[in-house]
Amino acid sequence: MTTNEFYDPMAPFYHLIHGDWEASIARQATALDQIATERWGLGAKSILDVTCGIGTQALGLAALGHRVTASDLSGTAVERAKAEAVKRGLDIDFSVADMTRVHETYQNWFDIVMSADNAVTHLLSEEAILGALKSFYQAAKPGGGCMVSMRDYDAVERGGVQFKPYGVRDHDGVRWSVYQVWDWRAKENGESDDIYDFSMYFTGDDGGAELKTHVMRSAFYALRPARMMALFEEAGFVDIARVDDVFFQPVIVGTKKS
């Protein structure tokens, strides 16, 4: 299944991942703004969000005064993000685009190029991730930067089938149970590989006798943060660092040479 085939059907449900999506929008934007300000200085900045999804980070950053351009491979997610921006009176330029090719449209345009919520590791090899980072590098202005948030795969147990509950959400008269299942792929020698198949479940209970479950399936590459930092360097970024305890995930940052 391709990444857009995973996210297209998830677009109507994605907010349910968050206990309070509106609060999460504000909280994540504040955290990313803090990282950007401490790293690259004060003032509204031009930001390209290359994996915007339904707009969780883009909406919040635009509300803080940043000039946001946002794209995603999922056309359905982008359409919802557009609707959410209109609802909030926010001016964001949205488009459907592949994060590995953003440089073809945006060469030296942005103060910050960013990808949040582990999206880069949908690319299932270091070679593919490096290609994306090189594209981000070319889209950033000289002296600008890049922010990529990712799971801390140093802290993740590898192997087997794992159940990851997110919680129960009450929304529009339906009680939703939200959870994930990770199924780690095995090498021929039986050792755990770095790729796991990923299923996202939304089970709705409307009070009737039957439940309806929606499931979307994809895969992730469990790249360790130190390797991501090394790929940042290989892509051309300097002053690379890992930022912890600000955003809900580690954020890898790097600067394009002036």
Per domain, the residue ranges of the chain are 3-153+223-255, 161-221
Query: Which class would CATH give 3-153+223-255?
Result: alpha beta
CA atoms within 13 A on the CB side of 185: 14
Say what the pTM is. 0.94
**For residue range 31-68, what is the model confidence (pLDDT) as tens digits?**
999 999 999 997 769 999 999 999 999 999 999 999 99
Q: Count CB-CB contacts under 10 A for residue 160.
A: 11
User: How many other C-beta atoms lie within 10 A of the C-beta of residue 52?
Assistant: 29
Residue with tokens 């990282």: 35
Q: How confident is the model at residue 187 (pLDDT cuts 50, 70, 90)?
A: confident
Residue 189: pLDDT above 70?
no
Looking at residue 3, its pLDDT comes to: 75
SS3 track for 29-56: HHHHHHHHHHHHCCCCCEEEECCCCCCH
